[in-house]
C-alpha cells in the first residue's frame, strides 16, 4: 500500500539500545491500563479487552520528562522517509508494553483507529518481539460522519470482514508510518514482551 512506509534501523544502534534500556529500567513510569486499544470501548457490552501498560509522553494532561529523549525519532523519520511531521500538530505520543499472551488469546487485539479525524500514525518498535502489528484495508472514513463514534465503529468492525493490507513484524529500530484512518491492531506476543511507541499527528 502506498500510504504505508517502513524503514529499518531508523536510529544508530547505540541509541536504539539506550531507548530500550530506558523502558526496561525499574525506575521508568509505566501505568496499568485495563484495555490497550481504547479505554472507552471497555464499557460497551460484548467488548473483549486486553490489558497491558502504557506511558503517555504527549496527550491530554501528559507532561512526560522522557519526551525529549525520544523526540529525535521524529526528526530522523522526517529525514529518512522524506515526510513532514509538524510537531505543533503532534497530539499524542504513547508507549505501550504488552506481556506474553494468555491461553486462547485472539490472533490480534481489537481493530481500531486512534482518532476519527485525518491524521498519520507512526510506530517505533523498541525491541524485537513476536507481536505483529496488523494494518487493514478498511478505513474509518468509509463510515458516514454520524457513525464515527465508539459504539458504531465497534459495530462496524464486528460486522465487517476485515482484510489485512500488511502485517508488520516488530523489529528493534523499525519505524512505520501510515494513514491514521486505516484500521489497525496490535497483537499480544507469545514469547517476549512487546514495546512500541505510537505517534499521532495531523
- pLDDT tens string 15-56: 999 999 999 999 999 999 988 876 455 555 555 677 899 999
Mean pLDDT computed over every residue of the chain: 92
Query: Radius of gyration over alpha carbons of the chain, in Å?
Result: 16
Is the whole-model pTM more than 0.85?
A: yes
CB 57 within 8 A of CB 94: yes
Is the model more confident about 12 or about 151?
Answer: 12
In this prediction, residue 167 carries a pLDDT of 98
71-94 pLDDT, tens digit per residue, is 999 999 999 999 999 989 999 999
Mean pLDDT of 188-194: 94
| Cα separation, 25 vs 116, whole angstroms | 34
CA pair distance 53, 152, nearest whole angstrom: 27
Predicted confidence (pLDDT) per residue in 138-181, tens digit: 999 999 999 999 889 989 998 999 999 999 999 999 999 999 99
Look up the domain containing 97 and give its range: 5-201
Domain CATH code at residue 22: 2.60.120.620
Domains of the chain: total: 1
Distances (CA, A) of 51 to 16, 30, 126, 196: 26, 13, 19, 15
DSSP track, 148-163: -SHHHHHHHHHHS---
Model confidence pLDDT, tens digit, residues 122-131: 999 999 999 9
C-alpha–C-alpha distance, residues 189 and 44, integer Å = 25
Amino acid at each position: 500500500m502506498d500510504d504505508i512506509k517502513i524503514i529499518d534501523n531508523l536510529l544508530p544502534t547505540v541509541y536504539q539500545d539506550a531507548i530500550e534500556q530506558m523502558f526496561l529500567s525499574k525506575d521508568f513510569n509505566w501505568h496499568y491500563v485495563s484495555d490497550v486499544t481504547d479505554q472507552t470501548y471497555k464499557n460497551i457490552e460484548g467488548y473483549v479487552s486486553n490489558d497491558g501498560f502504557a506511558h503517555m509522553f504527549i496527550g491530554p494532561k501528559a507532561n512526560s520528562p522522557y519526551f525529549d529523549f525520544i523526540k529525535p525519532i521524529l526528526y530522523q523519520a522526517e529525514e529518512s522517509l522524506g515526510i513532514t511531521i509538524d510537531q505543533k500538530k503532534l497530539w499524542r505520543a504513547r508507549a505501550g508494553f504488552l506481556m506474553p499472551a494468555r491461553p486462547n488469546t485472539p490472533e490480534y487485539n481489537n481493530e481500531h483507529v486512534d482518532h476519527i479525524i485525518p491524521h498519520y500514525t507512526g510506530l517505533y518498535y523498541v525491541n524485537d518481539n513476536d507481536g505483529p502489528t496488523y494494518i487493514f484495508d478498511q478505513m474509518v472514513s468509509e463510515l458516514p460522519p454520524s457513525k464515527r463514534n465508539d459504539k458504531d465503529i465497534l459495530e462496524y468492525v464486528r460486522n465487517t470482514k476485515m482484510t489485512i493490507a500488511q502485517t508488520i513484524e516488530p523489529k528493534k529500530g523499525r519505524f512505520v508510518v501510515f494513514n491514521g484512518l486505516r484500521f489497525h491492531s496490535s497483537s499480544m506476543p507469545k514469547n517476549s514482551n512487546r514495546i512500541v511507541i505510537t505517534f499521532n499527528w495531523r
